[in-house]
């Protein structure tokens, strides 16, 4: 319990393989109280596996997973955690109040039903059967079930998929309140604006590794590097050695260069290749940037003779 | 925030309420599924009315006693095989089992709840049959005989729940009802639950003891004096063995998926 103040949960050097697929390849994650960590990454990047390890649904091949200083397989550890998965398969013919009563009974100090209703926006739904609710209402019930145990860690896998804008606003507001109270939240999302609106920290996962981690501003800075594109005969390998250049790549006749500061690099490009044409310099938004980050890492991984 | 009280409450937490609610809502959930509750509750009673009371009153004098015992077993099998086989297959397919495993649900609550549900359904079927037998079929038994029949039906859930659980751990939710029916109906027929084994072809009657339902039926038939006369211990041992083997197979299968 003493360690719980420092980190609520962590994954350290975690590897997990399914057959030929290395789902996680040395992933590190740490969650602190009062912090919302957003896990971003394309499908198949390893987000779901990371969450399953944290929930005790899987055991890592190597590395360490700790929840409140214990193994997530221990009930006592999971009593501090609330969970919302992408599909919960909840019984269609139970009423919302019955589902709440059952899930609350798993926890030592559950929230009152009234609090759950208010925080998840369930007004008027308590005596309805789960199967008769709309998709968005079902997601709200799932969120209520995730928070009903007064968890200190909330794990939300794509929580706002299928929610309308208003319901999403309610959920965001509740999450902000919970984080302000000291709850740690791990969230996966497809919506970058969601990460931007909520997250203290963002971790971009690709091919089972964290390829970028930091505050939203840091990630954006990371990806707010400029991209220089042009038609030129200069060697990409040589340009990659220049100062300010992060990466240089040739795609047919086109050169694509990722740089920290565009001005010096552009000046030198123009000086070295008089025939250079179609010069363009762009700055990525978070979405483009995220795409760029994952594509770069993907290409880098593929250009290696053999993936680890 | 106030960690000392958190700690104390965590220590004071008792899972009893969780076990009780899990069982109650498992029962309600299946009771509210007409595709489960209507056939499992009503078919044994309807068949008994038809074959044990209406047809049984002509000719075969013992039919109402014989079928009281065997339709009870038929009901137990239905509730157990469907309540475990089909519902576990569906829960797996829809992700309910995964979600429940991620939650701090007390150990074993999921299976204990299903067991309680199946036993309550079994007890209801047993009472329905007894009511029909007593009022319409003129079956008069001693109180201890009624009680023993009821107990055999309730405990008879165990081997078929284990078999159902194993089936549910193997098959997908969509195909589950068909697979379970393919096990359920032939086994019921071949164990003499619908017709006495003496009316079946000799070869089929002779291999009847390979079916677990035969052994449960023999225990029930013994209460009304219509069994084949083998030792009770043999039947109990076979049923216990079936329960154990399939429970172990199912546990290994379900653990591998986690």
pLDDT digits (tens, 9 = 90+) for B146-187: 999 999 999 999 999 999 999 999 998 889 999 999 999 999
Residue B95: list chain A partners with CB under 8 A.
85, 87-89
Burial (CB count <10 Å: 0-12, 13-18, 19+), residue B10: middle
Residue B59 in contact with residue B196, Cβ under 8 Å? no
Burial state string for A88-124 with b = 16 or more CB within 10 A and e = fewer than 16: bbbbebbbbbbbbbbbbbbbbebbebeebbebbbbee
Residue A207 in contact with residue A301, Cβ under 8 Å? yes
DSSP notation for B237-254: HHHHHHHHHHHHHHHHHH
Confidence of residue A155 (pLDDT cuts 50, 70, 90): very high
Residue A195 in contact with residue A223, Cβ under 8 Å? no
pLDDT at residue A308, as a whole number: 35
Residue A169 in contact with residue A200, Cβ under 8 Å? no
Residue B104: list chain A partners with CB under 8 A.
75, 78-79, 81, 106-107, 149
For the residues B229-255, what does the mean pLDDT come to? 93
Q: Which of B6, B22, B107 sits opposite A109 (nearest CB)?
A: B6
Return the residue in A108, A150, A183 with the most chain B beta carbons within 10 A, the one to mutate for interface testing: A108
CA distance B9 to B1: 13
Instruction: Indicate if the alpha-carbon torsion angle A185, A186, A189, A192 is positive or negative.
Output: positive
Query: How high does pLDDT run on average in chain A?
Result: 87
**H-assigned helices in chain B:** 3-12, 16-31, 34-47, 63-80, 87-94, 96-102, 109-135, 143-155, 157-170, 176-190, 202-207, 212-223, 232-257
Q: Which residue has the tokens 């220590």?
A: B11
Confidence of residue A53 (pLDDT cuts 50, 70, 90): very high
- B210–chain A Cβ distance below 8 A for any pair: no
Q: Is A89 in Cβ contact with B96 (below 8 Å)?
A: yes
Q: Which of B22, B93, B94 sits opposite A102 (nearest CB)?
A: B22
pLDDT at residue B258, as a whole number: 44
Q: Which residues of chain B from 104 to 123 reach within 8 Å of chain A, CB to CB?
A: 104-107
Residue A40 in contact with residue A204, Cβ under 8 Å? yes
Least confident stretch, A33-37, A50-54, A289-293, B88-92: A289-293
Residue of chain A whose Cα is closest to the Cα of B17: A105
Confidence of residue A3 (pLDDT cuts 50, 70, 90): very low
Q: How many CB pairs under 8 A join A and B?
A: 86
Q: Is A101 in Cβ contact with B21 (below 8 Å)?
A: yes
Confidence of residue B256 (pLDDT cuts 50, 70, 90): low
- What global pTM score does this model have? 0.81
A62 CB neighbour count, 10 Å cutoff: 11
Does A253 score more than 50 pLDDT?
yes
Least confident stretch, A259-263, B233-237, B244-248: A259-263
Residue of chain A whose Cα is closest to the Cα of B16: A105
Confidence of residue A301 (pLDDT cuts 50, 70, 90): low
pLDDT at residue B117, as a whole number: 96
- For A16, list phi and psi in degrees, rounded to 5: -150, 130
Coil/strand/helix, residue B174: coil
Residue A103: list chain B partners with CB under 8 A.
103
- Tokens at residue B88, please? 């576990």
Residue B6: list chain A partners with CB under 8 A.
109
Does B7 score more than 80 pLDDT?
no
More confident residue, A106 or A219: A106
Does A305 score more than 50 pLDDT?
no
Q: Is B21 in Cβ contact with A105 (below 8 Å)?
A: yes
Least confident stretch, A30-34, A81-85, A132-136, A290-294: A290-294
Q: Tally the residues of chain B.
A: 258
pLDDT at residue A194, as a whole number: 84
CA distance A218 to A205: 16
Closest CA to A144 of A176, A110, A189, A169: A110
Task: For residue A73, give how far its alpha carbon lies from the nearest alpha carbon of chain B (Å).
Answer: 9
End-to-end, the C-alpha distance of chain B in Å comes to 34
Return the residue in A48, A85, A102 with the most chain B beta carbons within 10 A, the one to mutate for interface testing: A102
Element (H, E) at A202: strand A201-206
CA distance B29 to A180: 38
CA distance B14 to A22: 41
End-to-end, the C-alpha distance of chain A in Å comes to 37
Note the pLDDT tens digit of each residue in B78-91.
Answer: 999 999 999 999 99
Q: Which of A90, A109, A182 sits opposite B96 (nearest CB)?
A: A90
Measured CA distances, A285 to A37, A67, A212, A275, A295 (Å): 20, 35, 16, 30, 15
CA distance A205 to A16: 14
- For B243, list phi and psi in degrees, rounded to 5: -60, -45
Note the pLDDT tens digit of each residue in B12-52.
Answer: 688 899 999 999 999 999 999 999 999 999 999 999 999 88
Residue A1: list chain B partners with CB under 8 A.
3, 7
Closest CA to A120 of A90, A86, A156: A156
Q: Is A149 in Cβ contact with B98 (below 8 Å)?
A: no
For the residues A265-284, what does the mean pLDDT come to? 87
- B14–chain A Cβ distance below 8 A for any pair: no
Task: For residue B13, give how far its alpha carbon lies from the nearest alpha carbon of chain A (Å).
Answer: 5
For the residues A207-229, what does the mean pLDDT come to? 80
A78 CB neighbour count, 10 Å cutoff: 27
- ipTM over 0.90? The verdict is no
Least confident stretch, A221-235, A242-256, B82-96: A221-235
Residue B101: list chain A partners with CB under 8 A.
55-57
Residue B29: list chain A partners with CB under 8 A.
91, 93-94
Least confident stretch, A155-169, A179-193, A292-306, B112-126: A292-306
For the residues A61-65, what does the mean pLDDT come to? 93
Q: Tally the residues of chain A.
A: 308
Residue B107: list chain A partners with CB under 8 A.
75
B222 CB neighbour count, 10 Å cutoff: 18
- Rank A70-79, A85-94, A188-197 by mean pLDDT and report only the highest: A70-79
Confidence of residue B257 (pLDDT cuts 50, 70, 90): low
For the residues A265-279, what does the mean pLDDT come to? 91
For the residues A202-213, what does the mean pLDDT come to? 87
Closest CA to A27 of A44, A7, A47, A43: A47
More confident residue, B187 or A217: B187
Residue B51 in contact with residue B67, Cβ under 8 Å? yes
pLDDT at residue A261, as a whole number: 82
Q: Is B3 in Cβ contact with A85 (below 8 Å)?
A: no
Nearby residues of A188 by Cβ (< 8 Å), 6 or more positions away: A38, A39, A40, A41, A47, A48, A51, A156, A157, A158
pLDDT at residue B168, as a whole number: 94
Q: Is B102 in Cβ contact with A78 (below 8 Å)?
A: yes
């Amino acid at each position: 319990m003493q360690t719980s103040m420092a980190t609520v949960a962590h994954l350290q050097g975690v590897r997990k393989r399914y057959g030929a697929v290395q789902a996680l390849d040395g992933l590190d994650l740490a969650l602190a109280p009062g912090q919302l960590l957003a896990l971003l990454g394309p499908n198949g990047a390893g987000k779901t596996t990371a969450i399953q390890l944290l929930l005790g649904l899987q055991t890592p091949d190597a590395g360490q997973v700790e929840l409140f200083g214990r193994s997530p397989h221990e009930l006592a550890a999971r009593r501090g955690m609330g969970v919302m998965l992408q599909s919960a398969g909840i019984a269609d013919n139970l009423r919302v109040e019955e589902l709440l009563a059952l899930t609350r009974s798993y926890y030592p100090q559950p929230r009152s039903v009234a609090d759950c209703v208010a925080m998840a926006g369930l007004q008027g739904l308590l005596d309805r059967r789960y199967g008769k609710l709309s998709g968005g209402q079902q997601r709200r019930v799932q969120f209520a079930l995730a928070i009903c145990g007064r968890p200190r860690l909330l794990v939300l896998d794509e929580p706002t998929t299928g929610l309308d804008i208003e319901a999403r606003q309610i959920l965001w507001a509740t999450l902000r309140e919970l984080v302000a109270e000291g709850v740690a939240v791990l969230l996966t999302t497809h919506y970058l604006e969601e990460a931007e609106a909520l997250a203290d920290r963002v971790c971009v996962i690709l091919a089972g590794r964290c390829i970028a981690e930091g505050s939203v501003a840091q990630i954006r800075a990371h990806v707010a590097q400029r991209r220089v594109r042009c038609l030129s005969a200069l060697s990409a390998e040589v340009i990659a050695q220049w100062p300010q250049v992060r990466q240089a790549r040739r795609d047919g006749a086109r050169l694509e260069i990722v740089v920290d500061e565009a001005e010096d690099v552009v000046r030198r490009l123009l000086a070295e290749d008089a025939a250079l044409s179609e010069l363009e310099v762009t700055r990525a938004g978070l979405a483009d940037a995220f795409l760029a980050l994952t594509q770069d890492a993907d290409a880098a991984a593929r250009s290696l003779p053999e993936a680890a | 925030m106030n960690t000392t009280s958190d700690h104390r409450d965590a220590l004071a937490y008792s899972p009893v309420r969780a076990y009780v609610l899990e069982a109650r809502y498992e029962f309600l959930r299946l009771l509210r599924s007409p595709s489960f509750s209507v056939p499992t509750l009503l078919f044994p009673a309807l068949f008994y009315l038809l074959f044990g009371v209406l047809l049984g009153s002509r000719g075969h004098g013992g039919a109402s006693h014989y079928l009281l015992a065997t339709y009870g077993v038929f009901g137990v099998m239905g509730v157990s095989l469907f309540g475990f086989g089909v519902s576990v297959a569906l829960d797996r397919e829809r992700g309910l089992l995964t979600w429940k495993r991620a939650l701090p649900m007390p150990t074993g609550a999921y299976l204990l709840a299903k067991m309680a549900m199946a036993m309550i359904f079994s007890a209801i079927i047993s009472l329905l049959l007894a009511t029909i037998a007593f009022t319409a079929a003129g079956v008069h038994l001693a109180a201890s005989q009624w009680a023993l029949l009821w107990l055999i039906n309730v405990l008879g859930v165990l081997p078929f729940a284990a078999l159902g659980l194993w089936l549910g751990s193997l098959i997908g939710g969509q195909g589950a009802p068909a697979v379970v029916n393919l096990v359920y109906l032939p086994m019921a027929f071949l164990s003499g639950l619908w017709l006495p084994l003496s009316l079946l072809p000799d070869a089929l009657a002779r291999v009847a003891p390979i079916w677990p339902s035969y052994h449960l039926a023999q225990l029930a038939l013994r209460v009304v004096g219509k069994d084949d006369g083998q030792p009770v211990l043999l039947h109990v041992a076979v049923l216990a063995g079936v329960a154990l083997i399939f429970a172990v197979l199912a546990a290994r299968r379900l653990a591998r998926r986690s």
